[in-house]
Amino acid sequence: MIVFRRLRPDQSAEVRGRGARAVAAGLALTGALALTVAACGGGDSDSGSGDGGSPAQRGGTPVPAIRMLGPSPAYDPGQSEALKVVQEGMQELGLTVEFEGVPDFGTFDEQARQHEFDIGSTGYLGTLPRLEPTELMGPAFLCDNVDGTNYSGYCNEEFDALFETAVAESDPAARKEAIDEAQLLLSQDLPMVVKYYPVVSTIHNKDTLSNPTFVPASGYFNFWTFENAEPADGTMTVGIAEPGQSMNPMCNAAYFQESEYQLLVFDPLTRVGPDGQAENWLAENIERPDDTTVLVTIRDGVRFHDGSRLTAEDVAFTFNYYKRWEVPRFVNQTANLEKVTAVGDNQVRFELAEPNGALEFSLLSGVGILPKKIWNGVTERENVKTPCDWQSPRYVGSGPYKFVSYDPNQALRLERNDDHFQPPKAREFVGRYFATQQSLFLDLRAGNTDMHDADPGFTPSQIEQAESDGHLEVRRSPSTTVRFFVFNMRAGSPFQDHALRRAVAQVVDYDTIVAGILHNEGVPGAGIIAPANETWHNEAVEFPQYDVEAARATLEQAGYSWDGSDQLVAPDREPQVLAAG
């Protein structure tokens, strides 16, 4: 039986308590999985074998109900329906699933960081910086991030070493080899399963907005549209189908839509262009005297919105500040900063612990420069524990837009910075927040919103309706957005065992998901890097394919069995965590 429950934001404490009780109950089981191997350890390489005996003869305990966390139908209809297909496949294995639907990514992130799930379904929005493969693979799978956005708790030293090679290498061929091997390792260890890559179906109001910049990664939702598109009335209005998270750059726990908006107010040193290549922005020149030193010369004459001059001291302060306060989204990257110092008024020296060939794509393009005079000492001045706790920050940057107001349940409002070295075409920018994807879609049809975020998950029928509206234009493209679910590999979850993860991967009916739910507006999953990212996707990687009988055979070979009611029974042995044992 599959039990559906929808999780409300105000249920967080209740669910945390329920999750803790479930973990305690799991640890008390003496027959299921001897939960003594941490997700970061190896485990017994002997996976066990089926002996044909009954569950009583072979030992074991029924696998407890699987706690699945994922988008509610209102949040993301496509993902929600796809998860029902996954759940039906899991039923074929004798598993019971309790589904908790979350209303937005912020709620998912909060719950997943508490580790109170067995399967967590989420995704990565395709963005220009995420064409760089280490932007996807690091946050999700590094050992150092198991308490952050490595929701699965996956930890494999071999993967970490491949990742470090990919980051350090400047030679494209050597980087490609390391990234390919890392993708292969993930396909074997199976901390996650990619359900599909949606086709980007981007809608914009062609009567009210001209010359938006389309990129395969994220459609029209990108900096170059915000910079260069021309709204007929001077105001560009962009819709997002979920509440806002935070405009405070020190609160970047993961990638949110505000991550894009923050960089309209705070200039980064580089930006990733529409062609996927990093280009100088606030930086005028970047030199590498050796493998671990980067010298950045910044533009002359740049000023913050309050009229004060932006100097190398502000740049050095910003990166040291991010490192000091361990801003979660960048913590792995700032950890590699040994020292950042100003050299005169317009040059900054970055001293790295290890070489980083992707610095311009990642850290330098993602961190907006803060004015030191505003942020230095803010915890003492405002009597807060961290800069993220500052309730009313002064959003003074040097970017192409100036901050006006922000209400996470209503809208963000910005105005053009006419003194910027590259001022935008729009006079005003409004980022509106909608409670549901349907309300955003209706507002687009009504002509009140010019365009939308990178992937609101519009259904095929909604796309058909938009195509029939004369004022709306729909553009489709293969996407680098990745829709996947992770297994919780920590002690307390049945998915600490590799065989059970592999079996579930074998009952994901990709054809039904893509053809029946997405109406072929997507591509079956094949790894964390989408095929549309042709430079970095490893075509040789093979994931388990849909085959229920093969899945049951996988379980039998690993010592699993079924009781009289066909409920899955786990063997009485320690779990094998990784594919290699």
Residue-averaged pLDDT of the chain: 88
Give the pLDDT confidence score for residue 58 in this predicted structure.
53
- CA quadruple 486, 49, 570, 511: dihedral positive or negative? positive
Percentage of the residues of the chain whose pLDDT score is greater than 90: 69
Cβ-proximal residues to 83 (8 Å cutoff; 6+ apart), any chain: 68, 70, 71, 99, 121, 485
How far is Cα 280 from Cα 152, in angstroms, rounded to an integer? 36
Judge contact between 343 and 349, C-beta under 8 A.
Answer: yes
Give me the residues paired with residue 113 across strands: none
How far is Cα 530 from Cα 128, in angstroms, rounded to an integer? 13
Q: What is the pLDDT of residues 274-324, one digit of tens each?
A: 988 899 999 999 999 999 999 999 999 999 999 999 999 999 999 999 999
Give the pLDDT confidence score for residue 59 in this predicted structure.
62
**Amino acid identity, residue 388?**
C
Give the pLDDT confidence score for residue 241 in this predicted structure.
87
Give the pLDDT confidence score for residue 270 in this predicted structure.
97
pLDDT value at 186 more than 70: yes
Give 13's pLDDT tier (boundaries 50, 70, 90): very low
Give 55's pLDDT tier (boundaries 50, 70, 90): very low
pTM as predicted? 0.78
DSSP string, 522-536: EEE--SSS-TTSTTT
Judge contact between 546 and 511, C-beta under 8 A.
Answer: yes
Does residue 172 or residue 230 have the better pLDDT?
230
DSSP string, 302-370: -B-TTSPBP-HHHHHHHHHHHHHHT-GGGHHHHTTEEEEEEETTTEEEEEESS--TTTTTTHHHHPPPP
pLDDT value at 255 more than 90: no
pLDDT value at 224 more than 90: yes
Give the pLDDT confidence score for residue 75 in this predicted structure.
86
DSSP string, 462-511: HHHHHHHSTTEEEEEE----EEEEEE--STTSGGGSHHHHHHHHTT--HH
Q: Which of 527, 445, 518, 538 minimizes the C-alpha distance to 199?
A: 518
Which domains does the chain show, CATH number per domain? Answer: 2-198+481-570 (no CATH), 204-242+400-458+466-474 (3.40.190), 249-399 (3.90.76.10)
Q: What is the pLDDT of residues 165-177, one digit of tens each?
A: 998 888 889 999 9
How far is Cα 494 from Cα 119, in angstroms, rounded to an integer? 10
Identify the three-state secondary structure at position 181: helix
Give the pLDDT confidence score for residue 11 in this predicted structure.
38
Give the pLDDT confidence score for residue 275 in this predicted structure.
87
How far is Cα 483 from Cα 197, in angstroms, rounded to an integer? 6
Average pLDDT over residues 528-555: 94
Q: 48: phi > 0 → left, psi -120 to 50 → alpha, else beta; which?
A: left
Give the pLDDT confidence score for residue 181 in this predicted structure.
97
Does residue 17 or residue 332 have the better pLDDT?
332
Does residue 172 or residue 387 have the better pLDDT?
387
pLDDT value at 3 more than 70: no
